[in-house]
């Protein structure tokens, strides 16, 4: 059973629908007792890092997640991935869950090499390149494109924790992970064959 944490800031329907398509048993809940009985946890997220962390702390989800990952796998999706890191500069510096070493910064919107401005958010389909093919999330498919929507990106403190990256006016960590903790900056549930394979690989790791 896969648990999806409902804390009011995730695209729960699309994640649940993707798990249904994969025939993965799951529950969507804010209840710690229910989620503690699952085999793996998904932390979705859409919106502000600052607001999300305020909710996680207020509802004691941060403590629950910290305890959960000592024994079982966790996958953060989009904002959920960013929450795994130490800090974000969105709406002022905010401490994250600090489960992986790294920080979240805004896309500059200006390319220093070319002198040109570029669009923020990074939105749409983009190619990813794997750096850690021994990762349990690694998906060996002909597809290489996934769907991104984000204005802030991760800056990983340790290169080994960046499992795959995209290029959007510089490297953008697309899949991160260490131990039993993983994250995808893109939405795997909206990313076709590759995204669904990555999501299925995470669930297979748990079940």
- Catalytic residues, by residue number, are 78, 187, 189
Q: Are strands 171-178 and 162-167 parallel, antiparallel or unpaired?
A: antiparallel
Cα–Cα dist 133/158, whole Å = 17
| DSSP per-residue string spanning the chain | -EEEE-SSSS-HHHHHHHHHHTT--EEEES-HHHHHTSSEEEE---S-HHHHHHHHHHTTHHHHHHHHTTTS-EEEETHHHHTTSSEE-TTS-EE---SSSEEEEE--SB-TTT--B--SSEEEEEEEEES-TTSTT---SS--EEEEEESEEEEESSGGGEEEEEESSSEEEEEEEETTEEEESS-GGGSHHHHHHHHHHHHHHH-
Q: Would you call 88 helix, strand, or coil by DSSP?
A: strand
Q: Would you call 199 helix, strand, or coil by DSSP?
A: helix
């Amino acid at each position: 059973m896969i648990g999806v944490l409902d804390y009011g800031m995730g695209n729960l329907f699309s994640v649940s629908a993707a798990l249904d398509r994969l025939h993965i048993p799951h529950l969507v809940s804010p209840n710690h007792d229910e989620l503690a009985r699952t085999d793996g946890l998904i932390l979705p997220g859409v919106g502000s890092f600052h607001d999300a962390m305020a909710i996680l702390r207020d509802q004691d989800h941060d403590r629950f997640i910290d305890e959960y990952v000592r024994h079982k796998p966790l996958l953060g999706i989009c904002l959920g991935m960013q929450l795994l890191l130490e800090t974000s500069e969105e709406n002022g510096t905010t401490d994250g869950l600090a489960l992986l070493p790294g920080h979240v910064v805004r896309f500059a919107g200006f390319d220093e090499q070319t002198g040109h401005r570029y669009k923020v958010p990074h939105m749409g389909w983009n190619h990813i390149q794997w750096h850690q093919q021994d990762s349990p999330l690694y998906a060996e498919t002909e597809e290489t494109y996934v769907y991104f929507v984000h204005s802030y990106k991760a800056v990983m403190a340790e290169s080994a924790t960046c499992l795959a990256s995209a290029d959007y006016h510089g490297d953008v960590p697309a899949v991160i992970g260490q131990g039993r903790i993983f994250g995808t900056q893109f939405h795997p549930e909206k990313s076709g064959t590759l995204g669904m394979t990555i999501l299925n690989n995470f669930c297979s790791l748990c079940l």
